[in-house]
Structure 1
């Protein structure tokens, strides 16, 4: 079947903050939004080649900055039950919103970070109080691998925690230290982080049109493999104010989103330039760049089987206008059905 792309007919009413696919149903996904709601969609709910189906909208008292599924397709965090729509407060950050949430099915842990510079780790298998970890700076991005938690923060700080150590810390009531503390390979503020499904490493992106790929192994040999590259930039012609001559310069955009393919280990990046690209991390090359979208790419997610790639877009700050940010009625969700080998890298088996 040739690759196809659909646009979801009933997108959120305001800017999209996150997209998360269900752990078992490849066609089902959640979208969180500044519209103070979480939306549940299923592409199989409509006719073939149609525009998907909105299964439910779950209202919240404030904008929802992140969302993830829990143990199954009917459990989600921000802490809501998709079968009943009931909202339950599981943990509360003091004085600041929970900016990111992630769930480890391997360890039954809900992890949230907040602009109050804390990370809460909550076991969902019992009624234990959350383990609260104080972070050295404001967290900007969060991602989980099967055994690690990666938190990217201000001042180019990056902490990596061991999930088994977090579980042990909760059980013993002891404070938990980072497994590794690193400084970002990128020179400017981190926008996104995504862990490899292989549990070997992660990728980060910055506001300055760059992506870095690194490995957890701290040996000199492994660290020598890490690399960074420029992306999501366009050539722009402008006149030199001194001599009036036209020169070509790089117009640099933030790389807002990263997502690893769950099967092939390649990854997608989305930027303020309105483009999405597929990358082969092992071969260090770009595999594909899709057509330019009319607005900034805010978030990306692959389905559990890697067959679908969902893209959330909307207005950004990239046009440098002085008007205040307003995405009401302008958010869009596009879902691409990938070809059989479309996301398969050169090194994939």
Structure 2
């Protein structure tokens, strides 16, 4: 049976040419069904997820810990060799934006600010102007000290959320990076693994290494805290992907178990596709595990639509 004809009860279409080592992240483009994948095998891969075609592979000097799109013609990578790179997909041209003093853990591109933002284990956040590529002195816009090593970044509009070790969370306005708008501590008991902003710009989700998720709002007023969360997806070391109704704090759907840990998830721009990185995350040490794989599945409305609340029984 070929990947294109897998029945709907499986994990979806398996993309050809997956990375040969752990998948660190995957991202859909904001403009198309192109998918960018970073990996510990020192590669950055570009796929046409709809056509199941590997469009390009770009080799680095060290493991690639994160990636994001500039647009459909170029993307950025965060690398364990301390470097921040831009790749032009059509030509394969590589530009060096600059470097950190330790591995670069995460990278985001802000369309509003026209800047690349990187977070590193050197406890700094850096902003770059991609027009200064190949000239680090011109590309670097600013360096901002963080309380601990940066583990995850996410942005929506002009808001940037930075999650570090020690459960610190800093919230910035990209128009004024002199200091955070807010400094918070994660409401979760254990170390933060990932942060993701709500698409509507009202808040963000935090996940921790013990598998829990917290939903938070930028506005700390009581009225804001009563707002709706929406629908979101989570994936864990148990190999399951779950879709959740955040308003009612209930699971809407659970997909069939994937071959190994879920290392990363990404929805397409219209929410109709979900990319799943099935990639062992070494939660049980160096042991035999299933090969790394990327699955792309169609998201059906019945899987993500919150179920209506049951009406109260009429009086007897």
Q: TM-score range by the shorter chain?
A: 0.7 to 0.9
Whether the 8 Å contact between 2:231 and 2:304 is mirrored in structure 1 is: yes
SS at match of 2:176: helix
Instruction: Evaluate the alpha carbon distance shift between residue 226 and residue 183 of structure 1 in structure 2; reply closer, same or farther with a 3 A threshold.
Output: farther
Whether the 8 Å contact between 1:214 and 1:226 is mirrored in structure 2 is: no
Shift of 1:308: 0.6
- Out of 263, 288, 292, which is 2:253 matched to? 288
Distance 1:179 1:211 in 2: 23
1:255-300 CA-to-partner distances (Å, cap 9, x unmatched) read xxxxxxxxxx521101011100111223322111111112100000
TM-score (normalised: structure 1):
0.77
Give the number of aligned pairs: 287
Distance 2:225 2:171 in 1: 15
Whether the 8 Å contact between 1:100 and 1:113 is mirrored in structure 2 is: yes
Give the equivalent residue in structure 2 for 1:336.
297
CA RMSD for the aligned pairs? 2.2
Query: What stretches of structure 1 of length at least 5 have no aligned partner?
Result: 46-51, 167-175, 228-264
What are the equivalent positions in structure 2 for 1:258-297 lying under 5 Å apart? Answer: 265-297=230-262
Give the equivalent residue in structure 2 for 1:100.
106
Shift of 1:339: 1.7
Whether the 8 Å contact between 1:115 and 1:138 is mirrored in structure 2 is: yes
Whether the 8 Å contact between 1:118 and 1:134 is mirrored in structure 2 is: yes
What are the equivalent positions in structure 2 for 1:128-207 lying under 5 Å apart? Answer: 128-166=139-177, 176-207=178-209
SS at match of 2:175: helix
- Out of 28, 34, 37, which is 2:43 matched to? 37
1:314-336 CA-to-partner distances (Å, cap 9, x unmatched) read 22334x35xx3677x82110111
Whether the 8 Å contact between 1:215 and 1:226 is mirrored in structure 2 is: no
SS at match of 2:96: coil
Distance 2:15 2:152 in 1: 26
1:63-115 CA-to-partner distances (Å, cap 9, x unmatched) read 10000001x20110021111111111102101x11110011112211000000
Distance 1:326 1:122 in 2: 40
The alignment status of 1:58 with 2:58, answered yes or no, reads yes
Shift of 1:338: 1.2
SS at match of 1:144: strand
Give the equivalent residue in structure 1 for 2:95.
88
The alignment status of 1:75 with 2:74, answered yes or no, reads yes
Shift of 1:305: 1.3
The alignment status of 1:24 with 2:31, answered yes or no, reads yes
Whether the 8 Å contact between 2:228 and 2:247 is mirrored in structure 1 is: no
Query: What stretches of structure 2 of length at least 5 have no aligned partner?
Result: 1-6, 78-85, 133-137, 309-316
